[in-house]
A and B are shown apart, each in its own frame.
Chain A
Amino acid sequence: MRRSKVMSAKEAVSQYIQDGMTVLVGGFFHAISYTITHEIIRQRKKNLTICQSSFNEHADQLIGAGCVDRIISSYVWMEVFGPLYCFRRAMEKGIPHRIAMEDYSNFAMTARFLAGALGIPYMPLNSLKGSDMMNHAQWMGDKKVILQEDPFGSGISHALVPALKPEVGYFHAQRADEEGNVQMWGILGDAPWSVRACNQVIVSVEEIVSRDVIGRDPNRTILPAYKVAAVVKEPFGAHPKNTQGYYDVDRDFIFTYIGMAKNENTWKEYMDEWVYGVSDRSEYIEKYIRKYGYRKFASLKAKEMPSGCINYGY
């Protein structure tokens, strides 16, 4: 057993996320680390560039709290739940301050991470061509995307997007061992490539398991421990999002957030209650159960639908 990297969200964020960094938030709609997101807000980190293939309310909260200067993504919204109003206020009116977004497509973002993870400088794409994302850039200027003809002679031009290698990344997964071998299942989103592209990674997990448990199903591991700087044990750490096999999405809670975010004052009330007004995730869960009742909390718990066992024997 090598060094344990288990620490609190507070310690992980203060140690590894500094003002001005480019920070990956890993995942796609499912298993988003709200526990690390909220800790970044509580520690009032500033001037961050946040990146993810597609963002939801976690970006909205970071933007509204003034932590973000720049976004690199394809999407900031919450599907049929509705728009994200802090994002819109920042983009349309400069509240709380003006932010800039480099717009890509969902696959182009993921391809940028893939290139980053593979150590190659760019990725050629069929996407983006002919769209205004080709000729509208913010701080990246003419380094955002370049149209180039296939040097192998197909006659087709592709959109080249540069590798993206965030300084630090954080994401949520089902389990890891103390050293940081991470296992995840269900919707992986921009993981594993996005987190593999990062220099350092913080992972929050539902459970910490032994190295033996990891070794019994190594195909399930999406990130090896040497890439991981910190492991934060945080059951319910993705709420109100889902984590496959642990809990379902809390639709009512997301609708409540979007409703309150419409107006700056009610957004602040929400944040005071659920982010600034709790010191960590356990207090958040206690507050949730106090407010909505244990029955509601328990209703989110996942049903038992275990996979069959496979034989790794030889």
Chain B
Amino acid sequence: MSEYSNNFTLQEIMAVAAAREIRDFEKVIIGTGLPLLGSMLAMRTHAPNIIAIYESGTIEARPVKTPFSVADSCLIPGAAMQGGLIEGLGIVHAGELDVGFLGGAQIDRFGNLNAHVIGDYYHPEVRFAGSGGSNDIGAGCKRTIIMMLHQKRRFKETVDFVTTPGYLTGGKHREKLGFPGSGPAVVVSTLGILRFHPDSKEMYLESYHPGTDVETVRANTGWDLKISNDIRETEPPTVEEIRILREELDPTGVFLKKN
């Protein structure tokens, strides 16, 4: 039994929770920031054989330093294959990858994500980046891991625009559309870990992070959030996981500096 850390930030527990969602030998498409740290942490702990794929067409990347961007030049030397977007996202689109990461400005109870606008699409109050590869990852990956800041204005009853469908209106709605991928498996938020009911596809709280509680999570969610019957505290990061994140993966604090 490894020793748990009692000194970690919310970003670190999110990176650790993301890492624990990945199984060895899986094919994983990786974005920048926390998904990247989570995947690299998984490779250095329980999943050394995952195949790391980047949207930019890098397959089985083995960078000697932590890449800053999905187009970082350090991803190329040592990779098994390098192509373009047709190669990188084509295999996602074909349904060949196990895991993809998603995020966004808003999410609803069925895991539908908005990365386009706040307000009206045609006259936005705030305009965001748009889909990028998110919609393709959501459609094609066997399962997705969503990482979100947990705030009431982000966990919304209704999202302003569906960039990447989760389970749409729930139940069998997603299944009827015939995507290669089966949808979001988990939401790793700044407050807890949430999953989706197998039939209704509604999001529920599985665990709350150390330092928070069920009431805080509910207060920061824009709908009446369901709670698991065996609700518990999220398993904290181990001392070793935190050491790898800080000393090996992000020694200059590029990704983990903000808390």
Q: Which residues of A contact B (CB under 8 A)?
A: 28-30, 53-54, 73-77, 79-81, 83, 87-88, 91-92, 101, 103-108, 110, 114, 125-133, 136, 154-157, 185-193, 241-242, 244, 248-249, 251, 302, 305
**CB contact list, B112-150 vs A, under 8 A:** 116, 121-122, 124-136, 139-140
> Nearest chain-A residue to B114 (Cβ)?
A132
User: Does the CB pair A302–B73 fall under 8 Å?
Assistant: yes
**CB contact list, B244-259 vs A, under 8 A:** 255
User: Does the CB pair B135–A77 fall under 8 Å?
Assistant: no
**15 further contact pairs, Cβ within 8 A, besides A29-B70, A103-B116:** A79-B69, A91-B124, A92-B127, A105-B135, A106-B89, A110-B85, A110-B89, A127-B135, A132-B163, A185-B82, A188-B84, A189-B71, A249-B71, A302-B73, A305-B77
24 pairs from A and B in contact (CB 8 Å cutoff): A29-B69, A30-B56, A73-B130, A74-B133, A81-B69, A105-B132, A105-B136, A106-B85, A106-B133, A107-B89, A108-B136, A114-B86, A127-B140, A129-B177, A132-B116, A132-B163, A133-B131, A136-B161, A186-B73, A188-B83, A188-B85, A242-B73, A244-B73, A244-B76
Q: Tell me whether A110 and B82 are in contact in the complex, defined as CB-CB below 8 angstroms, given that A29-B70, A127-B140, A249-B69 are known contacts.
A: no
Q: Tell me whether A80 and B135 are in contact in the complex, defined as CB-CB below 8 angstroms, given that A75-B130, A251-B68, A305-B77 are known contacts.
A: no
Q: Mark B177-208, 1 if CB is under 8 A from A, else 0.
A: 11110000000000000000000000000000
B221 at the interface (CB under 8 A from A): no
Q: Tell me whether A249 and B135 are in contact in the complex, defined as CB-CB below 8 angstroms, given that A76-B130, A130-B162 are known contacts.
A: no
Question: In the bound complex, what is the Cα–Cα distance between A88 and B124 (angstroms)?
Answer: 9
User: Does the CB pair A88–B130 fall under 8 Å?
Assistant: no
Question: In the bound complex, what is the Cα–Cα distance between A156 and B179 (angstroms)?
Answer: 9
User: Does the CB pair A91–B131 fall under 8 Å?
Assistant: no
